[in-house]
């Protein structure tokens, strides 16, 4: 069975983007200091441990997740042949 690369990329982007955004908002809501999640500012330009940073993380997480999911689906399809 082959994977649809576009659909897999879109799904991966949505899942990873929402994960970064919701994790940031969740940790902010419960007063976590954010030591571990602040590491994302090294990878995502403009990200900060804040409400605005959560939405910046949503954008970059979507791009990041879509690229890696597309690469995974493409590689999977190549190896399944």
Residues 17 and 53: their CA atoms lie apart, in Å, by 12
Confirm whether pTM is higher than 0.85: yes
Residues 51 and 32: their CA atoms lie apart, in Å, by 13
What does the pLDDT read at residue 39?
Answer: 87
Average pLDDT of 21-49? Answer: 89
What does the pLDDT read at residue 44?
Answer: 93
């Amino acid at each position: 069975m082959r994977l649809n690369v576009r659909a897999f990329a879109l799904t991966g982007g949505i899942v990873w983007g929402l994960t970064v955004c919701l994790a940031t908002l969740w940790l902010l809501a419960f007063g976590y200091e954010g030591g571990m999640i602040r590491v994302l500012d090294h990878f995502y330009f403009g990200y900060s441990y804040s409400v605005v940073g959560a939405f910046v993380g949503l954008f970059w997480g979507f791009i990041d997740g879509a690229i890696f999911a597309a690469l995974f689906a493409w590689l999977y399809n190549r190896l399944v042949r």
